[in-house]
Chain A
Amino acid sequence: MATMGATYDLARFGSERMSFSPRQSDLLIVAGTISKKLGPVLKQVYDQMAEPKWVLSVGACASSGGIFDTYSVLQGIDHVIPVDVYVPGCPPRPEQIIEGVLKIQELAKNESLRRRDSPEYKKMLESYNIETVDK
């Protein structure tokens, strides 16, 4: 919240708009503890996003389960969906989240246009059991 607020203001870096549907979004920011029961829901949200898409895992809980090393908590969202950038911290500072978004922008700027057609990318998605469409 502070990241989007007036003091830190992520909008200065071109990320102004929150999307209310996964279908219109480019970046999925996952923050907070994800329980195992929520895993399939998270995967569905990821599935619904259109390519190209990026994932930012914010905080220790989303990235690794954090202190919640227990039977009900997913030990990192990368068990369910691929993650582009991890933001460490418990909780992370707003500056860190902004840096994470900047890293995503860096990826978006520099990645090859054909990266998402590559066999490696398809193999990676398949390893997560995410359906790929052959063009």
Chain B
Amino acid sequence: MFALTEDIPIDKVSVALVVEPFTSAPVCAMYFNMAKMRGYDIKTLIGTTQNDILTMTVGYIPYKNVAPNHLLRLACDFIEWTVPMKNVPRWHPINFTGYNYREGGIDAVQELAFVFASACSHIDNLVDRGWKAEDFVNRLAFHLAAHKDFFEEIAKYRAARRIWATLMKDRYNIQDPKSMEFRFHVQTAGSSLTAQTPKVNIVRTAIQALEANLGGCQSLHTNSYDEAICLPSEEAALIALRTQQVISEETRITNTIDPLAGSYFIEWLTDEVEDRVLKYIDKIEKVGSIDKALSTGFLYKEMRDAFHKRRARIEKGEEIFLGVNKYPEPYDTCTDVFRTNESAIEIEVDRIKKLKARRDNAKLETILDKLRNICEKEENVMPIIMEATKEGATVGEICNIYREIWGIWEPPLAI
């Protein structure tokens, strides 16, 4: 953590820690311990932890995971410890990352429905623990996609704001308008980019960035044009950054809030998206809370059907990719490919070996035993994980305790 944040003024910069419920507690605990050791008051820190249960189940598949009910508990433990318990009150302890599952093939309606059904399950869990929704809902964050259908995406952001405000007001009796605000980050669609004529990706990304701006996003990630080829090179990442700066700093688009409001098409589309999302949320909630929707395989099947449908559309040429299924071009071989440092593995293994030799292993074992106990009860795991990581526990050691107590879960992949 010290090396990772070297020269970064972490009291001024909002840091995004992209870790999911399985690893968010130990990784974030390491971050908070580092901040404390550097002399910062963690109550003042700003940042976001992804901590999204759907990302690590239907989005990606992590290595030797535990079952969804335990993941939901871990996600809620982290939210509870940071915000309502006021240990890191300005932190965004969860970021419902519709982007990640949208990339897997679901449509705009499903993206919002997955996000809201999941958010409600987390709020319900914390309310069951005795907290009031207004104690924490204003710290929940969202991360949506900017995909290929220009107007539909803009309508999606508008519908999302309405749905969230209504949910907060009607379902959770929120009074404070600030807590009804749907604040969201947008990422342009990686799965819309091609390995053929990759510079065309700059144009695609710019158009998607425009959607996000017209739709009123709070922050934006523009993808690099080499997305379909490799991890971003420095040049590609810089062009991506400049692309969004052209929009936000040169065009004055951001001077107007909701500039497309009143357009007959946008208003109709917003109503339509809202209506369909509400119906789809009902469909998910009929199965149960988000962990049930996962463990029964329901969401996996919905994902599977969506991405096989999308694949068929692409193969039939109904969804167009220039350079791939229309005006085909060969793969580009001129792009400067970014290569990771293969010896990084050895550096990291060596570092962990040294850590294990240096720390007080007997003391750590006692702390890890306490974590075993807490996992079996309904007590928040964060305080003991703060202690364990301070004594040098690794992410792997913490996760292995989860696996030991709760068992490894085989996801119902439904191929």
Q: Do the two chains belong together in a single complex?
A: no
